[in-house]
Amino acid sequence: MKPSEQKTQEIFIDGAGCASCVGKIESALKQVSGVTSAEMNFAQRVVTVAGNASGDALISAVENAGYHGKLNTAENEDNSLAEKEAADWAYYKKLLRDMTIALALGIPLMIYGLVVGEMSVNTSGERIGWLLVGIATLAVMIFSGKHFYIGAWSSLKNHSANMDTLIALGTGTAWLYSMIVVFLPHLVPEMARHVYFEATAMIIGLINLGLALELKARGRTSEAIKRLIGLQAKTARVIRDGKERDIPIENVQIDDHVRVRPGEKIPVDGLVIEGHTAIDESMLTGEPMPVEKSEGDSVSAGTINKSGSIIFAATRVGKDTALAQIINMVKRAQNSKPPIGRLADVISGYFVPVIMIIAVSSALAWLNFGPDPAIAFAIVSATSVLIIACPCALGLATPMSVMVGVGKAAEAGVLIRNGEALQTASKITAMVLDKTGTITLGSPKVTDIVITSDMDETTILKYAATLEAGSEHPLALAIVESAKEKGVENGTLTNFSAIAGHGVEANIEGKRVLFGNEKLMKEQKIALGDHVETAQLLAAEAKTPMYFAVDNQLAAIIAVADPIKSDSIAAIQRLQHNGIRVVMLTGDNRATAKAVAEKVGISDFFAEVLPEDKSKKIQELQMAGEIVGMTGDGINDAPALALANVGFAIGTGTDVAIESADITLMRGSLHGIADAIAVSKATLRNIKQNLFGAFIYNVAGVPFAAGVLYPVFGVLLSPVIAGAAMAFSSLTVVSNANRLRLFKAQEH
Amino acid sequence: MMIINLLGLGLIALIIWWFWLYKAQEIKMEDNELLITVENGVYSPSRIKLPVGTSIELTFLRKDPSPCAEMLLIPELQISESLPLNKVKRIPLPALKPGDYAFHCQMQMYKGQISAA
């Protein structure tokens, strides 16, 4: 068996009551053909099975041994999503069924109460009639409301309280009081001999309806993550031993050669080794134009091959693919909470017992100071308080909006790390942009070689390329690329040293060679003479001039230009229109920086900033009271990104280091920053609406239910209305969060 | 009326004691062999004692279909995971410093506590 065909499966065992079952289950599984080992963890009731046996064979072996088994496939997100949807659908149907049964009793009773106006127990005939209704209500409580009572009892035993506790206490009190009226009417004043069976049935029905609708609405909040998970291919066509075959994606190994035909999804990350095509990466980057790919280019899982057939070598599989990392990051961010939600969390923690205390206090107040029948008023107010209070609306207010907001951002190629980043991004007042690779394309080209000595251009280019061969700086790459294009071969160097923020020096073919900025030349006492003006002229054209000296004499000025991204100007204007101060930082010389800044409309820029000084600039802005966002490539700017209130890593396509910053922009456009800020603001606004609504609902609803308006207006809330309000308060929060789905992040 | 008032005040005292003052017994966990079930609105066991400085895995089995039970959060450890229905989910914890770490659902209706000591 090939290692790739070996797999580990986990089976959850139900019905294993004693440790002696372990041996029986393990040996039953080991007898299945293809199983190489089976080990059971009794405490966790999980057997880990290695081998290539099918899941069905393993389950039937467990069943034959007298136990129930379920494959634990949580690692397979796609399956787990389908299973989750199936489980949610089954639960939704159950809730609707429970609701129908409860309302089938509750609505006629309520209509009867409204039409006849009497639900009291005065005659023996009425006692028998209401007893039958009480029994029917009990059946509804057991059938349709069982989950509330079991949940409440479990919580109570556990010294905790939740929504079930409130519903169970509210409906239970109403039913119990009504049964006392039926069985022991003499204990209750004649005026108070009312029954509240309709309230019990209606509350159970309405809350089940609210839960069902909330479940549906919740499903919509996670559409973004479902879409991302849906991007994953299920199979890959691999070429092994010269033969092509389709295998499940989880069996693809690193270095496997994978063929992808036009129209198919790229199954795992890799490097193209054969063929040429255009790939649609919009689902990951938000960039609508397909990207040309040929030999040596990288491809990412989840993107779609549009035109040609390619073969690529797998470089990242399973949880390591860019898509898997994106899914993981979005999931984590969706479940994190911004600080704004913390107060609601603290309140939620104390909510239910406090409501119970208010209900008891309210009942006592009515009994002591209420009009006749005080006992009926006490029961109605206590029941209404218990039923109207909704901890769920408070608890859901923040996470539901974050879920939709983070998902919305992901659709636009903006990955937000957590709730805190989301909240801070909405408050940014200053945005610092690195020039190279952020405002510009980051792929400069050599534009001018101004020779200032008797050396020829080929030798200059040879020395310069030799010096820069080991560097990954975009300017260095431009020199190396230019030498390659002209067929100039590199020499050999010794004593190489890089002087951070200044340039490099080394010995090449016995000559001491320096290559860098004006500062480097001045420090090394190289005479620049009038050539400074030449350099300034080049810089004024937004080119970056670099001085090249051989044996302590200036030999040439090499100018490199990095084109400005086509939409940088519009994106910077968009930020400025939103009241954000845009600042440019660059290690480049002042003249070049000025030329670029002027072109893109930035008046606030700092040139010749050493890498370590970028953090200082961020600090200075923070000291001036700004909330600072910093955008860079996520690698060279790491300290500044970390120090900024929100760090934005900008990339081109899926190569960007996804986890390097608070917010990752999957496409190179600066519009991503404006999109991220816009979606953050919209999400925070939505959270505030939800929190305000939930707070107001509870702050106003609970006293109203307790009867504070009764002394003035003579109004006391019916428990049925309280139940309806409670059922729909959570739904309102989830629906308001869903409004965010309509938000358009890309306003350009 | 006096008796009713006293009963009412007693009930309030009982609520305060039962939900806030009473500390449930902690289950000690020495290695990875403990299953926490999520069922009927509670984590069981809900109070877990873990050794300090050891990486350990919590194993959850969610049997509760309510969507409220789906998310598990341990805010102090920056952990938020979804619990699949009727499946075992292992959640690795970093080596813990001494202290209490609350775990709960998104709405804090399901609650538990890890004590590292």
pTM exceeding 0.95: no
Least CB–CB distance from A44: residue in B67, B88, B106: B88
Residue A54: predicted pLDDT: 79
Summarised one tens digit per residue, pLDDT across range A333-349 is 877 778 888 788 778 77
Residues of A tagged active-site: 434
Summarised one tens digit per residue, pLDDT across range A38-52 is 887 766 677 888 888
Amino acid letter, residue A292: E
Q: Is the pLDDT of residue A74 over 70?
A: no
A649, A632 contact by CB (below 8 A): yes
Least CB–CB distance from A160: residue in B68, B86, B111: B111
Contact across the interface for B33 and A44, Cβ inside 8 Å: yes
Contact across the interface for A87 and B65, Cβ inside 8 Å: yes
User: Is B97 near chain A, with CB under 8 Å?
Assistant: no
Residue A160: predicted pLDDT: 82
Coil, helix or strand at residue A43: coil
Report the percent of chain A where pLDDT is more than 70.
93
Q: How far is CA A662 from CA A57, A58, A525, A670, in A?
A: 46, 44, 43, 16
- Non-local (6+) Cβ contacts of A637 within 8 A are A434, A611, A614, A630
Q: How close B98 comes to chain A (CA, Å)?
A: 22
Most confident residue range from A60-64, A116-120, B23-27? A60-64
Residue in this structure with the two tokens 């909240």, named with its chain if needed: A423
CATH of the domain at B83: 2.60.40.420
Contact across the interface for B41 and A73, Cβ inside 8 Å: no
Residue A504: predicted pLDDT: 85
Out of A60-69, A259-268, A615-624, B3-12, pick the least confident: A60-69
> Which residue spans within A65-119 are E strands per DSSP?
68-72
Residues in chain A: 748
Q: How close B14 comes to chain A (CA, Å)?
A: 10
Amino acid letter, residue A12: F
| Chain A residues lying within 8 Å of B111, measured CB to CB | 160, 349
Q: Is the pLDDT of residue A1 over 50?
A: no
Summarised one tens digit per residue, pLDDT across range A603-652 is 999 988 877 788 889 999 999 999 999 998 756 677 888 889 999 988 76
Look up the domain containing B36 and give its range: 24-116
Q: How close B117 comes to chain A (CA, Å)?
A: 22
Q: Which residue of B has its CA nearest to A417?
A: B78
Neighbours of A57 (CB within 10 A): 14
Q: Say if B7 falls within a structural domain.
A: no
Residue A703: predicted pLDDT: 93
Summarised one tens digit per residue, pLDDT across range B37-60 is 998 888 988 889 988 888 888 888
Q: Say if B1 falls within a structural domain.
A: no
Report the percent of chain A where pLDDT is more than 90.
28
The closest of A659, A666, A667, A631 to A647, measured between CA atoms, is A631
Residue A19: predicted pLDDT: 63
A42, A16 contact by CB (below 8 A): yes
How far is Cα A674 from Cα A659, in angstroms, rounded to an integer?
20
* Pairing of the two strands A581-585 and A430-434: parallel
How far is Cα A639 from Cα B103, in angstroms, rounded to an integer?
33
User: Is A608 near chain B, with CB under 8 Å?
Assistant: no
Q: What is the DSSP string of B3-21?
A: HHHHHHHHHHHHHHIIIII
Query: What's the rounded mean pLDDT across residues A551-578?
Result: 90
Report the percent of chain B where pLDDT is more than 70.
97
Q: Say if B9 falls within a structural domain.
A: no
Q: Is the pLDDT of residue A274 over 80?
A: yes
pLDDT band at A211 (very low <50, low <70, confident <90, very high): confident
Query: What's the rounded mean pLDDT across residues A32-43?
Result: 80
Summarised one tens digit per residue, pLDDT across range A592-601 is 889 899 989 9
Collect contacts of A83-90 with beta carbons under 8 A, ≥24 apart: A83/B84, A83/B85, A84/B84, A84/B85, A85/A219, A87/B65, A87/B85, A87/B86, A88/A215, A88/A219, A88/B65, A88/B67, A90/B65
User: Is B61 near chain A, with CB under 8 Å?
Assistant: yes
Contact across the interface for B67 and A73, Cβ inside 8 Å: no
- CB-side neighbour CA atoms (13 Å) of A426: 22
Tokens representing A456 are 């020829």
Q: How close A655 comes to chain B (CA, Å)?
A: 26
- pLDDT averaged over every residue in chain A: 85
Contact across the interface for A395 and B80, Cβ inside 8 Å: no
Residue A232: predicted pLDDT: 84
In terms of phi and psi (left: phi > 0; alpha: psi -120 to 50; beta: otherwise), the region of A415 is beta
Tell me: cis bond preceding A338? Omega within 30 of 0 counts.
no
pLDDT band at A2 (very low <50, low <70, confident <90, very high): very low
Least CB–CB distance from A335: residue in B12, B80, B110: B80
Q: Say if B2 falls within a structural domain.
A: no
Residue A747: predicted pLDDT: 53
Query: What's the rounded mean pLDDT across residues A118-127?
Result: 83
User: Is B25 near chain A, with CB under 8 Å?
Assistant: no
B86, B44 contact by CB (below 8 A): no
How far is Cα A114 from Cα A333, in angstroms, rounded to an integer?
50
Least CB–CB distance from B33: residue in A41, A163, A418: A41
**What is the edge-to-edge ordering of all strands in the sheet holding A604-606?**
A414-416, A663-665, A646-650, A628-632, A430-434, A581-585, A604-606
- Non-local (6+) Cβ contacts of A135 within 8 A are none
Tokens representing A592 are 């070049």
How far is Cα A36 from Cα A6, in angstroms, rounded to an integer?
9
Q: How close A164 comes to chain B (CA, Å)?
A: 8
Q: What is the DSSP string of A181-244?
A: HHH-GGGS-GGG-B--HHHHHHHHHHHHHHHHHHHHHHHHHTHHHHHHHHTS-SEEEEEETTEE
Q: Say if B78 falls within a structural domain.
A: yes
Q: What is the domain count for chain B?
A: 1
Most confident residue range from A70-79, A97-106, A558-567, B104-113? A97-106
| Chain B residues lying within 8 Å of A157, measured CB to CB | 42
- Non-local (6+) Cβ contacts of A260 within 8 A are A237, A266, A267, A299, A305, A309, A310, A311, A312
Q: Which residue of B has its CA nearest to A338?
A: B75
Q: Each residue of A40-52: b (16+ CB within 10 Å) or e?
A: bbbebbbbbbebe
User: Is B21 near chain A, with CB under 8 Å?
Assistant: no
| Chain A residues lying within 8 Å of B42, measured CB to CB | 151, 154-155, 157-158, 160
Q: Say if B14 falls within a structural domain.
A: no
Residue A162: predicted pLDDT: 82
Residue in this structure with the two tokens 């770490």, named with its chain if needed: B101
Residue A77: predicted pLDDT: 46
A159, B24 contact by CB (below 8 A): yes
* Angle, in degrees to the nearest 10, between helices A391-411 and A342-369: 160
In terms of phi and psi (left: phi > 0; alpha: psi -120 to 50; beta: otherwise), the region of A13 is beta
Torsions phi, psi of A562, nearest 5?
A: -115, 110
The closest of A452, A361, A408 to A707, measured between CA atoms, is A361
In angstroms, how far is CA A72 from the centroid of its own chain? 25
Q: Say if B55 falls within a structural domain.
A: yes
How far is Cα A227 from Cα A387, in angstroms, rounded to an integer?
37
Contact across the interface for A336 and B78, Cβ inside 8 Å: yes
Q: Is the pLDDT of residue A475 over 90?
A: no
Burial class (CB in 10 A: 0-12, 13-18, 19+), B76: middle
The closest of A156, A345, A692 to B108, measured between CA atoms, is A345
Residues 45-74 of A with CB under 8 A from B: 45-46, 70, 72-74
How far is Cα A372 from Cα A367, in angstroms, rounded to an integer?
9
Q: Which residue of A has its CA nearest to B75?
A: A336
Coil, helix or strand at residue A718: coil
| Chain B residues lying within 8 Å of A45, measured CB to CB | 35, 61, 88
> Which residue spans within A436-532 are E strands per DSSP?
445-451, 493-499, 503-508, 511-516
Residue A17: predicted pLDDT: 60
Residue A4: predicted pLDDT: 43
Contact across the interface for B65 and A391, Cβ inside 8 Å: no
Residue in this structure with the two tokens 């010749």, named with its chain if needed: A608
Q: Say if B16 falls within a structural domain.
A: no
User: Is B55 near chain A, with CB under 8 Å?
Assistant: no
Out of A155-164, A186-195, A458-467, A696-705, pick the least confident: A186-195
Tokens representing A555 are 């030999």
A197, A134 contact by CB (below 8 A): yes
Query: A208 vs A1, which has greater pLDDT?
Result: A208
User: Is A367 near chain B, with CB under 8 Å?
Assistant: yes
Residue A361: predicted pLDDT: 96
How far is Cα A604 from Cα A584, in angstroms, rounded to an integer?
6
Residue A101: predicted pLDDT: 96
